[in-house]
Structure 1
Amino acid sequence: MPHRDPLARRLRAGFASTGAVSDRVGVTPATVTEAFERLAADALVDYEKGAGVVLTDRGTQIARELARRQCVVRAFFATELGVEYGAGDGYRFGYALSEDGVEALRRLVDFPAEQCWQSPGEYADDCPCESTAP
């Protein structure tokens, strides 16, 4: 059974509200609205005031790639160096690395990250990143 994040369930159901995202990330609803508007301008989400936001196909593709990168980085640090990092640090490291760098780490730990992250906030049971949603 995959692990799920409550906010991710709302996204899969069709939307996430400004309030739900605001509560989850600990910022004001106005900050979330501004972020939604910027993401919509970049075609990463479809946003409608009052209705909420849903990832576009492009937004989902980018979210999956970022989740894959953070999983690979966290798996490398945990298995090779014995250091545990949270998802936030994993995202920052994974974002900063080139694709070649991420792939080199993946090969070192023999980690099939492309099969780990299934959809927004949903991880395979054996994923080392399962406890923290993207």
Structure 2
Amino acid sequence: MKKQYRVGQHIKVRVTGIQPYGAFVETPDNTEGLIHISEIMDDYVHNLKKLLSQGQTVRAKIISIDESGKLNLSLKDNDYFRNYERKKEKRSVLDEIKETETYGFQTLKERLPYWVKQSKRQMQDETD
């Protein structure tokens, strides 16, 4: 017997397949659904396989149900993916270089020691 689902409901689903445009999922009662790549997180997702894997169970929100009963889902309310997005908000050394560097030719040999020291400092801050 199929369960009745409603828009806005949060449910656990298992990833059954991954395509470049999204992840196919299935509920415990075998109702099929799709999490479109644009519904993973607000940031651009380059490679879905870095975030989801086949067989993985995730908590998703139902955003619509089509006529055949298939679910369209979103992970944007999922705390794990929201936290992943926040980690990406941390600035990288490259962002700082782009903002602070004056454009012109400087050899790598001149700038490399500074960049290495800055990267090590940032890595140390992240592990603390």
**Greater share of helix residues, 1 or 2?**
1
**Greater share of strand residues, 1 or 2?**
2
TM-score by length of 1: 0.29
TM-score by length of 2: 0.30
- Could you say which structure has the greater relative contact order, defined with CA pairs below 8 angstroms and 6 or more residues apart? 1
Of structures 1 and 2, the larger Rg is shown by 2
